[in-house]
Amino acid sequence: MGLVVATKMIEIRNLKKYFPLKGGFFNSKQADVKAVEKVNFDIPEGEILGLVGESGSGKTTLGRSIIRLIEPSEGEILYNNENILNFKEKDMRSLRKDFQIIFQDPYASLDPRKKIFDIIAQGLKIHTGLNKQEISNKVKSIIKEVGLQEEHLNRYPHEFSGGQRQRIGIARALVLEPKFIIADEPVSALDVTIQAQILKLILDLKEKYSLTILFISHDLSVINQIADRVMVMYLGHIVEVASTKQLFSNPKHPYTKSLIATAPQIFRKNENKIVLKGDIPSPINPPSGCVFRTRCPHASPDGKEAKIEMGLIEVEPGHWVDRCGANCS
Amino acid sequence: MKNDTLLSVKNLKTHFSVGNSVVKAVDGISFDLEPGKTFAIVGESGSGKSITALSIMGLLPNNLESVDRGKILFNNQDLLTLDEKEMRKIRGNSVSMIFQEPMTSLNPVYDLSFQISEAIMLHQNKNKQEARKIAIDMLDLVGIPEPQKRIDAFPHELSGGMRQRAMIAMALSCNPKILIADEPTTALDVTIQAQIIELMRDLQKKLGMAIIFITHDLGVVAEISDTVMVMYLGNTMEIANTNKIFSNPKHPYTKSLIEIAPQISEHKREIKVLKGEIPSPMNPPSGCVFRTRCPHASPDGKEAKIEMGLIEVEPGHWVDRCGVGCGN
Ligand SMILES: Nc1ncnc2c1ncn2[C@@H]1O[C@H](COP(=O)(O)OP(=O)(O)OP(=O)(O)O)[C@@H](O)[C@H]1O
Ligand SMILES: Nc1ncnc2c1ncn2[C@@H]1O[C@H](COP(=O)(O)OP(=O)(O)O)[C@@H](O)[C@H]1O
Ligand code: SF4
Ligand code: SF4
Ligand SMILES: [Mg+2]
Ligand SMILES: [Mg+2]
């Protein structure tokens, strides 16, 4: 067998998102919320790429920027070798069919006034030229795919449990036969037993429909179950990227190490783990140099990390770590 | 009830009337709490964990259905027989509680000084200045930096983790023998969760209180508890020493929970699932409440007629009667 080079679904180049903070006398710009700092990565076709990090690290902003639900400040998003940030609204609209999103909160993400049928059918009406009958057939078939029944289509969101609503959210995304899905904490609001059901559903559907998925979660155990590769994010920066196996067996960055060491586990009682101190700093005023230095257990006492320039380097094939994380500790 | 039991819950039932129906939120649970130990209650949403806690605290809504509620024995008295005034005394001095969402239990319009001092003045007979000083010490104890300054902060000025620390400070200010913590870390990030768990362990070592720790996360159970109770639909399915429950679970529900819990130690095992959802407590299955989801339920449906109840399979390890005979 020769070398197989996986086709890339999407390529992210120097993608940055700052939210301007306005206020004061002239409602002028006061500062920026530096949510995502020039990140670079690719997602090969058919991959589930996990994105993990604490709340506020920029996961949602990054995910939404990729499909332009949030307009990035800088950078390129290459899809079929074209930078979609140059697309006009009309071209974007056809793209929206290929790119779908599943949200964290199954309560807030479904319009309470609409019947399930209309919620799922809406995208088909906007994006396809299908007639009524064809739309109806598609909706009826997808609702079964996600483990619900045709009779559910006539009901309203409030009649469903959290897990069922998440299934509806998945049906709404999948009915358009997308190529790429952003799943933003799709199981975080669910009970463990329902969480397992939804994860299994996502995996099964991924195989069946050859999907590519960016799977966002703050829960490393979930990421370990579902992702092929993992990116670890901290304060707008990607500090480590590796295959799931590499990341969990051989974490390099002090932040990754501490996340893995502190995740509560059934069959591991480690009394003397290193618990990170303090909170994640504000992205309005992030630490200079290594952004992790204010919480890093290995930060040097002379504070030299304040002057380090961040950036990923490859430490073993396919395993990238922030430059500072690779040299230190 | 053993000699060293601090709190003993016996066949506790908390039923609510809603319209013409009855919600059996807690339907006959029993457990003992030992002094200085941590007792975890784990179970899916709706299994009755919070209502168990609120029953002990005497903080239930008033749509209670009158049934034989069992007993909650503490200090030789049955808390269920006390009136509101006597219960208030218990809550101020012996048993206190922290809640899942700190914003709902910290009052947003008052600063920390007022909220913590108030509790201290009410229950400990201290004047304003003394109370403020104790409050500052408490904030220091729970690891809030610059407590002299933070004491005047309002809840919204604190991060989630700091608010949870403030809650703990408030709950501990009366020197309770029992601290009930209802999912105190569920809304927090892993690193902050680890900080709070570490803090609670340290405080328990220092102050010696017993903790009832409610969670739905078995990983957290493993980290913090000595003993664990698994609840489902208002019933106790299993109680055991924490190591025991993971090494030798008996009840099919406990086994399922352990099997499906995502772990970071083993990569990409296939995802195991427990089918279905927890039924409504308005209309629980007859007989074994778990039978509608149990992988070992018998095809002839004989579990519909089983009577539930705990039996002790080895010292300190209790399993629902049905869980023992069945499903190997
Ligand atoms: N005042 C009430 N009236 C009627 N039903 C109630 C009342 N309070 C709680 N219940 C019901 O009792 C059951 C148990 O509730 P409880 O809050 O104890 O669950 P829990 O195990 O704490 O769940 P979670 O993990 O979601 O916090 C639920 O079905 C709930 O809807
Ligand atoms: N519309 C917005 N305006 C200003 N700041 C924002 C906005 N959306 C997100 N942020 C900030 O950007 C940072 C990253 O947020 P987010 O992407 O939601 O993180 P995560 O999903 O990892 O929790 C946070 O500090 C958040 O408060
Ligand atoms: S550069 Fe220093 S502060 Fe940053 S991750 Fe490495 S050891 Fe920690
Ligand atoms: S009695 Fe039957 S249904 Fe109930 S737990 Fe045992 S095997 Fe399952
Ligand atoms: Mg988010
Ligand atoms: Mg609860």
pLDDT tier for residue B13 given thresholds of 50, 70 and 90: very high
- pLDDT value at A2 more than 60: no
How far, rounded to the nearest angstrom, does the alpha carbon of residue A296 sit from its chain's CA centroid? 24
pLDDT category at A4 given cuts 50, 70, 90 is low
Mean pLDDT throughout B288-317? 91
CB of B304 less than 8 A from some CB of A:
no
Q: What pLDDT score does B59 carry?
A: 92
What is this structure's pTM?
Answer: 0.92
| Range among B157-166, B203-212, B270-279, B315-324 with highest mean pLDDT value | B203-212
Q: Would you say the CB of residue A292 lies under 6 angstroms from ligand 3?
A: yes
Percent of chain B with pLDDT over 70: 95
B61 lines ligand 1 (CB under 6 A): yes
**pLDDT recorded at residue A324:** 74
**What is the percent of chain A with per-residue pLDDT over 70, rounded to a whole number?**
95
The verdict on a CB contact (< 8 Å) between B268 and A225 is yes
Q: For B88-105, write each residue's pLDDT tens digit.
A: 999 988 999 998 776 667
Q: Is the dihedral of CA A239, A245, A250, A254 positive or negative?
A: positive
Tell me whether B257 touches chain A (CB under 8 Å): yes
Could you give the CA distance from residue B94 to residue A171 in angstroms, rounded to a whole number? 51
Q: Which residues line ligand 2 (CB under 6 A)?
A: A 19, 33, 35, 53, 55-61, 283
The pLDDT value recorded for residue B103 is 64
Residue range A134-143, pLDDT digits in tens: 999 999 999 9
Partners of B189 on chain A (C-beta within 8 Å) are: 54-55, 218, 280
Residue A327 near ligand 3, beta carbon < 6 Å: no
Probe residue for ligand 2, chosen from A21, A22, A33 as the CB with the greatest number of ligand atoms within 8 Å:
A33
Mean pLDDT computed over B172-182:
93
pLDDT tops 80 at residue A226: yes
Residues of chain A with Cβ-Cβ distance to B275 below 8 Å are 197
Cross-chain residue pair B262–A265, CB shorter than 8 Å: no
Q: CA B199 to CA A272: how far, in whole Å? A: 13
What local confidence, expressed as pLDDT, does residue B147 receive? 93
Q: What is the pLDDT of residue B47?
A: 94
Q: Which residues keep their CB under 5 angstroms from ion ligand 6?
A: B 50
Express each pLDDT in A47-105 by its tens digit.
999 999 999 999 999 999 999 999 999 999 999 999 999 999 888 888 888 999 999 88
More confident residue, A327 or B44: B44
**One-letter-per-residue 3-state SS of chain B:** CCCCCCEEEEEEEEEEEECCEEEEEEEEEEEEECCCCEEEEECCCCCCHHHHHHHHHCCCCCCECCCCCCEEEECCEEHHHCCHHHHHHHHHHCEEEECCCHHHHCCCCCCHHHHHHHHHHHHHCCCHHHHHHHHHHHHHHCCCCCHHHHCCCCHHHCCHHHHHHHHHHHHHCCCCCEEEEECCCCCCCHHHHHHHHHHHHHHHHHHCCEEEEEECCHHHHHHHCCEEEEEECCEEEEEEEHHHHHHCCCCHHHHHHHHHCCCCCCCCCCCCCCCCCCCCCCCCCCCCCCCCCCCCCCCCCHHHHCCCCEEEEECCEEEEHHHHHCCC
Question: In ligand 1, which atom is closest to the CA atom of B183?
Answer: 27
B26 within ligand 1 shell (Cβ under 6 A): no
B271 near A CB under 8 A: yes
pLDDT tens readout for residues A271-319: 667 789 888 999 999 999 999 999 998 888 888 889 888 999 999 999 9
